[in-house]
Structure 1
Amino acid sequence: MNGMNRKILIVDDDLKTRTLLKAYLERNQYDVRLAPDGETFLSEFERYKDELSLVILDVMLPDTDGFALCQTVRKNSNVPIVMLTASSDETDRIVGLELGADDYIAKPYNPRELLARIKAIHRRTGIEGPTTGGRYYRFVGFTLDTVERVLISPDGEVVKLTGLDFQLLKMFLEHPGQILDRSQLAEETRGRDAGPLDRSLDVQVSRLRQRLEDDGKHPNLIKTVRGAGYVLSAEVTISHV
Structure 2
Amino acid sequence: MSARVLVADDDPRQAEVVRRYLVAEGHEAIVVHDGRAALAEGRRRRPDLMMLDVMMPGLDGLQVCRTLRQESDVLVLMLTARTTEEDLLLGLELGADDYLTKPYSPRELMARIRTLLRRAPRSAPHASGFGRREIGRICVDLGRHQVTVDGVPIECTRGEFAILAAMAQQPERVFTRAQLLHHTRGIDRSSTERTIDVHVMNLRRKIEPDSRRPTQLLTVYGVGYKLTSSPKLEPGPMGTP
**Could you state the TM-score of these two structures normalised by the residue count of structure 2?**
0.49
Please say which structure displays the higher CA radius of gyration.
1
RCO (CA 8 Å, sep 6+): is it higher in 1 or 2?
Answer: 1
**Could you state the TM-score of these two structures normalised by the residue count of structure 1?**
0.49
